[in-house]
């Protein structure tokens, strides 16, 4: 009986050991499963069509930028070559002559005519006389301007003839009563006023450059105011050349005793 009990005890201890070993294995497996669960899986990324298109566009953009960079470098090199060629040409060829100035220089007479023309054009706001109206003897403000630029007016008389020609052409070409005829009549009065002697003399003394213009070119004469001579108002002068002795001789004898040539007891005070 004792042997049987010992055998049964040994068998039970063996079973207990097997159970303990299997329990440890189960725990290890559970721990491994927990570790696997805790560690996240790496997601597998799939490239979509949009990302492919973007990468293609990026590659194309890089290629385009590289081409532009290369083109800029080539153009810069070409410009440098051109500059070097120009420097070589300039070193071989003489320097160019200076260009003539396009600024017109007016003489005092031209400036005087220009001021009169501006005044007449200001009185024609509708520009009735800006263009010629006849083909026989055309004349207008534009033609006068050209003649002033060419210095075709040696004196004020020729300028006045052209201004009067504008008025006569307008009055001959247009019938009386029309707007152009009335404007021509007004312009005639303006021309006569601007070219009158008092107004020309006023401009001569007002404009600073007119002092260099001879009066003959403006049709003026130098006015000299004659000074009136003083009237002769001569009077006879009384000459007092009498001496004390002559006075005593001419005095009445009754008064001669009362007079003397010297004052007695004369004292001269300092």
Could you tell me the residue ranges of all domains in the chain? Answer: 56-86, 108-212
Cβ distance 242 to 236 under 8 Å? no
Q: Which two tokens stand for residue 57?
A: 């566009």
Residue listed under structure tokens 């049964």: 8
Q: How far apart are CA 186 and CA 129, in angstroms?
A: 12
The whole-model pTM stands at 0.47
Q: How far apart are CA 117 and CA 73, in angstroms?
A: 60
Please list the pLDDT of the chain residue by residue as tens digits (270 residues).
Answer: 444 445 555 555 555 555 555 556 666 776 776 666 555 555 555 555 567 777 888 888 888 888 898 988 988 888 888 887 776 765 555 555 555 545 568 899 999 999 999 999 999 988 888 877 766 888 899 999 999 999 999 999 999 999 999 999 888 888 898 999 999 999 999 999 999 999 999 999 999 998 899 999 998 888 777 777 777 666 777 777 778 778 777 777 777 767 665 565 656 555
How is domain 108-212 classified at the architecture level of CATH?
A: Up-down Bundle (1.20)
How much is the pLDDT for 153? 93
How much is the pLDDT for 181? 92
How much is the pLDDT for 80? 86
Q: Which two tokens stand for residue 151?
A: 């210095």
Q: How far is CA 70 from CA 66, 67, 74, 79, in A?
A: 6, 5, 6, 14
Q: How far apart are CA 124 and CA 130, in angstroms?
A: 8
Q: How far apart are CA 63 and CA 41, in angstroms?
A: 38
How much is the pLDDT for 157? 93
């Amino acid at each position: 009986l004792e042997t049987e009990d010992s055998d049964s005890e040994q068998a039970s201890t063996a079973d207990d050991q097997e159970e303990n070993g299997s329990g440890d294995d189960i725990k290890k497996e559970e721990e491994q499963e927990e570790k696997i669960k805790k560690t996240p899986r790496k997601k597998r990324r799939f490239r979509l069509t949009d990302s492919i298109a973007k990468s293609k566009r990026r590659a194309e953009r890089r290629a385009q930028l590289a081409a532009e960079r290369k083109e800029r470098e080539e153009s810069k090199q070409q410009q440098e070559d051109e500059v070097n060629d120009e420097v070589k040409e300039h070193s071989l060829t003489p320097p160019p002559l200076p260009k003539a100035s396009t600024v017109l220089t007016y003489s005092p007479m031209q400036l005087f005519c220009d001021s009169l023309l501006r005044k007449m054009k200001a009185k024609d706001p509708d520009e009735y006389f800006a263009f010629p109206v006849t083909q026989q003897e055309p004349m207008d403000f534009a033609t006068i301007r050209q003649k002033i630029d060419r210095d075709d007016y040696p004196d004020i008389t020729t300028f006045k003839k052209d201004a009067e020609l504008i008025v006569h052409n307008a009055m001959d070409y247009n019938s009386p009563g029309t707007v152009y005829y009335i404007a021509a009549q007004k312009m005639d009065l303006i021309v006569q006023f601007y070219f009158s002697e008092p107004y020309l003399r006023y401009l001569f003394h007002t404009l600073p450059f007119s002092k260099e213009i001879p009066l003959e070119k403006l049709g003026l004469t130098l006015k000299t105011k004659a000074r009136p001579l003083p009237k002769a108002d001569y009077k006879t002068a009384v000459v007092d050349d009498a001496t004390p002795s002559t006075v005593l001789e001419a005095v009445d004898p009754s008064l001669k005793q009362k007079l003397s040539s010297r004052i007695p007891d004369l004292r001269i005070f300092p």
